[in-house]
Amino acid sequence: MFINQAYKGDNTWWRVLITTLLTTGIFIANFIMFFLMSNEQMDEVYKKMGDIHGIKSLIINLSPFIFLLALLFFLVCFLHKRSILSLTTSRSKVDYKRIFFSFGLIVFLTIVGFAVSYSFDNSQIIWNFNPLRFTILFIISIAMFPFQIGFEEYLFRGFLMQQIGIAVKNRWFPLLFTSVVFGLFHSANPEVYKMGFGVMAFYIGTGFLLGIMTLMDESLELALGFHVGNNLMAALLITSDFSAIQTDAIFKYSGIENPNDILNEMIVSILIVYPIILFIFAKKYNWTNWSRKLAGKIDASDTYN
């Protein structure tokens, strides 16, 4: 069992607290600052963010995750005396085919969805392709996004889901908690400020999707592949003036005064695309016992050595 992998390490409360605070501190500080700032201060912050060139902005935003992922791995290995494998999967080794399949699926669905949307109405979508800038963007994205996604997945769906799970002795609460907190930690993104807190439903819904993948498949592999593919498409395919990271993507959304169009597409993803993704995974990997895996109790005796 994936959550039970935490029993293979030292789970003394102070060790868990240290790891949690050190790895989430930057998010907590960012979250607090967001709610303490006035609208005028927010406008100034996002204006300065928008003034930074796409490539430079990408590097500035993603670089800290290299350190944070390394820190998380260090603490898990040396403070909790666990292997990274136990943080990744309940199987004997990482299944890279799962990562690539999940990655390919979300990339395919994103491109198809964009093509359909573009064919119906492209009045607010601008061709933004610059070969040199896009090539640089592609290289940096491939090199750096895995660190960001790796950190978020190993923190939320790995460390926190496992530690909370063995603490409360069930699966439904860590799924709920990590999904909501994952969404809240994105509340300082410019999209939320521009489109309103309705967009938080997308972030929290995505957290639930990734959490369900993890619990049903007993590993992070599908969540890692999906998350990398999703973020790469967000950086490479289409950008906007109120994206969290503005890039030299192929297309640019120009409907600045009507961002609800993007919000509506997000809602469609949650209600239609996400269930389809889960259905495909369930069929391919023969998922069964949904209620037990998503809401069942945790028993230390189920730990596999």
Quick: pLDDT tens for 211-269: 999 999 999 999 999 999 999 998 999 887 666 667 889 998 876 555 566 677 778 78
Torsion sign over Cα 22, 24, 30, 36: negative
Alpha-carbon distance of 239 to 128, in angstroms, equals 9
pTM score: 0.91
**Per-residue pLDDT for 35 more than 80?**
no
Contacts 24+ apart (CB under 8 A), 23-26: 23/68, 23/71, 23/72, 23/75, 23/151, 23/155, 23/159, 24/155, 26/64, 26/68
Alpha-carbon distance of 156 to 276, in angstroms, equals 23
Q: What is the pLDDT of residue 121?
A: 81
What Rg, from alpha-carbon coordinates, does the chain have?
19
Give whole-number Cα distances, 82 to 1, 3, 4, 22, 128, in Å.
Answer: 15, 13, 12, 18, 46
- Number of Cβ within 10 Å of residue 285's Cβ equals 16
All residues at 6 or more sequence positions from 41 whose CB lies less than 8 Å from its CB, including other chains: none
Asked if 161 contacts 175 with a C-beta cutoff of 8 angstroms, the reply is: yes
Where are the chain's structural domains? 3-302
pLDDT digits (tens, 9 = 90+) for 142-191: 999 999 999 999 999 999 999 999 999 999 999 999 999 998 888 777 67
Cα-based angle 118, 123, 124 (whole degrees, multiple of 5): 90
